Amino acid sequence: MDAPEAETHENHEPERWWQIRELQLAAVAAVLLAVGWWLSSTGAERVGDGLVLASAVVGAASFVPGTLRNLLRRRRVGVGTLMTIAAIGAVALGQVTEAAMLGVLFSIAEGLEHYAIARTRRGLRALLGLVPPTASVLRDGVEVQLAPDDIVVGDRMVLRPGERAATDGVIWAGRTNLDLSAITGESMPVEAGAGDVVHAGAINGGGAIEVEVTARASDSSLARIVHIVEEAQDRKGGGQRLADRIARPLVPAIMVLAALIAGIGAVVGDPLVWLERALVVLVAASPCALAISIPLTVVAAVGAASKQGALVKGGAALEELGRIGTVALDKTGTLTRNAPQVVEVLPTGDATSTGVLATAAALEARSEHPLARAILAAADSGQPAIDVTAVPGHGLTGRVDGSSVRLGKPGWIDPGPLAHDVERLQQAGATVVLIEQDDVVLGAIAVRDELRPEAPEVIGRLSGLGISTAMVTGDNTRTATALATQAGIGTVHAELLPEDKAALLSELRNGRRIAMVGDGVNDAPALATADVGIAMGAMGTDVAIETADVALMGEDLRHLPQVLAHARHARRVMLQNVGLSLAIIGVLIPLAAFGVLGLATVVFVHEAAEVLIILNAIRAARTTSLPEVTTALPSTPQPLSLTVAGPSKQNGSGCCDAC
């Protein structure tokens, strides 16, 4: 359907259905047609016929001008072309009433399509309405009220209880809890203090805080979400491309068919009768519904997903997501909280726990890895080691106080007298690193990243959708096994480097579409290799959003089965719409060609089917909010299938890559 592009992309979409131009024209045309019929039935035929003709003209005004522009400027023949020819032909043959009905019904279908798209775009832009009209900013020690666009990086915003953040920033002073439900779809507030990130649109639910601005309002995470989703809505998925491939050649083919019917019919029968049938075929075969069936569904589904905290990058990602049969999940930051803590320190000989931590912290001083941060948080501050070198896939070496030290995984460093304790800690789900000084084991540090409380529930819901799951991690087998058992995952592939994860996906596919869920940084190769890459906890992370096909903005893992179920529902709607569109065309063409159905009947059936498809497409926007988190473990753990990677590759940044 040749919807008016200028109106579709306006910043201010119509808020009510009666504000849609096509629906207004349809209403006027319908009134003129009804009054014309009534006057004709009372004997005022001339006036009645004039009103019916006026109805046809008003109805045609919704699509004829756009059709002519497409023909003259772009040399493009579309659905509107068929309708224009049919309307003009009907008037020329004296079937003015049928032409008026065509104009009314086609205008209604055009208007409903426009309204459906406008509603989803308006709902998306409503996210920007989460930004307050003014914000309190401290400048030169004085608090002033500024519009969000006037706030610059480095300003300090004051957020009082109940106020929303106008842009992104970092808490400078104060402590509070932040409500991110409108952005991430999660109802639970997040505790935040000095140094924590505040995103645009977040509601301050606690005490007053000062926030140092890190991005202009136009570049905030909220503005970026809207921009990405609007771009995504314009991307075409496989099904949409299929609809385009069918509809594009179908229009000229229909015109050729109608010409053949009129030409052959003129030879074997009454030329006027067959010309009329040719016009009816033009309407019957018009692929209006087919042309809008997928795009409208994609717009509705992608817009609805964004409101639930999931950015789906267009129709292609949406369709692939709806076909997923296997999900591979990273451990750290996906199945776990990504907030590891030191749970035990085991010194040997004369060493002390404090000394073991201090040596490990000296080696990890410049690392940003979560395990390194856990060690640094547990240790007293000290001087960093010198000559620090990462041994890919194994650990770190360096010098501390003139001594040669190493930190790494068991196997690279012999645990010696700590072997039994290392095994015990790994079986308890902890990651263990050993510290060696001058070729003597100094001690071991156990770090554990706790499983997300909702992880078992998520695995159960994925299983209920018929989706198999697997854990892919660089951590050791014992730790991975312990966490997989808690979560209810039956397949574990451990001790993998990032490139190992990507190579493993083809094996895990097993003839089905596979999705990889990770943090979007360390798992970038696997996210790019999978049929669908899903970044977890991507709010404000450019790398995660850019790498993945789908970005889950919040930290609640239950968004994963939610978006998968949503995509499956949307794909079912797409297939229903395409099937119904083709069925309508297939049935109406022969009935129209042989004169079984007249123009009025074909117009009514055709446009009624189009309205039905539009309404069905809107169903793709249906979503379900997440319930409260439950912590129940799976009642029957699945049997484990373990795989350990082979020799380490020559890339990496140390032992902490094992996570």
Dihedral-angle region of residue 411 (phi above 0 means left; psi in -120 to 50 means alpha; beta otherwise): left
Cβ–Cβ < 8 Å for 599, 95: yes
Distance in angstroms (rounded) separating the CA atoms of residues 260 and 373: 76
- Amino acid identity of residue 624, one-letter, is T
581: helix, strand or coil: helix
Q: Strand 491-494 and strand 169-173: pairing?
A: unpaired
494: helix, strand or coil: strand
DSSP string, 280-315: HHHHHT--HHHHHHHHHHHHHHHHHHHHTTEEE-HH
- Kindly list the catalytic residues: 330
**Chain segment 589-607, per-residue pLDDT in tens:** 899 888 898 888 888 887 7
Place of tokens 């915003």: 157
Q: Strand 324-330 and strand 513-518: pairing?
A: parallel
This prediction has a pTM of: 0.68
Cβ–Cβ < 8 Å for 553, 225: yes
Q: What is the mean pLDDT of each run of 10 residues along the chain (659 residues)?
A: 40 66 90 92 89 92 85 75 79 82 80 68 63 90 91 93 91 88 64 87 87 91 70 58 65 85 87 88 78 77 82 83 93 81 91 92 79 85 84 83 91 92 86 92 90 92 94 82 90 82 85 85 75 77 67 86 94 90 88 87 83 86 66 43 46 41
DSSP lists the bridge partners of residue 465 as none
Sign, CA dihedral 529-533-538-542, equals positive
- Both tokens of 87, joined, read 């309307």
pLDDT for res 354: 92
Distance in angstroms (rounded) separating the CA atoms of residues 314 and 320: 10
Q: Strand 135-139 and strand 156-159: pairing?
A: antiparallel
DSSP string, 434-457: EEEETTEEEEEEEEE-PBPTTHHH
DSSP lists the bridge partners of residue 173 as 210
DSSP lists the bridge partners of residue 643 as 493
List, in order, residues 6 or more apart from 130 with CB less than 8 Å away: 164, 182, 183, 200, 201, 222
> If you count DSSP H runs as helices and E runs as strands, how many of each does the chain have, helices first?
22, 23
Maximum Cα–Cα distance for the chain, whole Å? 115
pLDDT for res 443: 95
pLDDT for res 398: 92
pLDDT for res 421: 93
pLDDT for res 643: 54
pLDDT for res 348: 93
Give the number of C-alpha atoms closer than 13 A to the C-alpha of residue 133, restricted to the C-beta side: 0
Distance in angstroms (rounded) separating the CA atoms of residues 655 and 533: 25
Burial of 205 by CB count in 10 Å (0-12 exposed, 13-18 middle, 19+ buried)? Answer: middle
pLDDT for res 5: 39
Distance in angstroms (rounded) separating the CA atoms of residues 53 and 37: 11
List, in order, residues 6 or more apart from 359 with CB less than 8 Å away: 400, 405, 407, 435, 437, 442
